[in-house]
Amino acid sequence: MSPPEAEIRRLMARGLDLYGLGQVREATECWRRVLALDPEHAEARDFLQTASGEAEAPAPAAGDAVLEEAVGLLRRGQLAEGLDLLETLAGREPARLDVQAFVELARAALLRVYRQNVGNGGRVPRVRIPSDQVMKYNLPASAGFLLSLIDGQTSVDELFALSGMDPFDVLRGVSNLLDAGIVETAA
């Protein structure tokens, strides 16, 4: 990989991270720097357009019904449902960069939602229900694993390190456990 390609990848990833944290101005600056290196970089142009509010998301390829449905869900604010569909599509067709771009946009938008729901990383989740009632929730394996790490003393930031999971997945799992009423957090 040439130095400009490596820098472009770094800037694209940094822009998505910043966008996910709600730092839109900084994210758009990263994507503008990508365009300075490669004026034809379509993904950077699409992300800039989305971030600037000129469009809610780049248009999916015509005739791709699954992608069109996923983007429609995102546009209607059904971010988690749209991401689920996009992740399924990305699993079936991992080489599709357009799908990967939509996955990253959805994750960035959801990251803000999950961070707001979970609160700061210093918050400490604790289980609210007796362990014998957990089974009735039919949790996915990742949520069950996170739940096994929640001891009322370990902060959300510490869960990132202990779980070895992607921070997005930790936040998604804790947020879902909060929404289900299985856990609560304290400062």
Q: What pLDDT does 24 receive? A: 80
The predicted model gives 69-75 an average pLDDT of 86
- CATH top class, domain 1-55: mainly alpha
Phi, psi dihedral angles at 18 (to 5 degrees): -65, -40
Residue of 20, 46, 17 lying closest to 114 (CA atoms): 20
90-145 pLDDT per residue, tens:
999 888 877 888 888 889 888 888 988 998 889 999 999 998 888 888 888 999 99
Domain ranges of the chain: 1-55, 58-117, 119-186
- Quick check: pTM over 0.85? no
d(CA 144, CA 140): 6
Residue 185: enclosing H or E segment and its boundaries? strand 183-186
Same fold, 1-55 and 119-186: no
Spatial neighbors of 116 by CB under 8 A, at least 6 apart, are none
Would the pLDDT of 56 be above 60?
A: no
Record: fold of 119-186: Arc Repressor Mutant, subunit A (1.10.10)
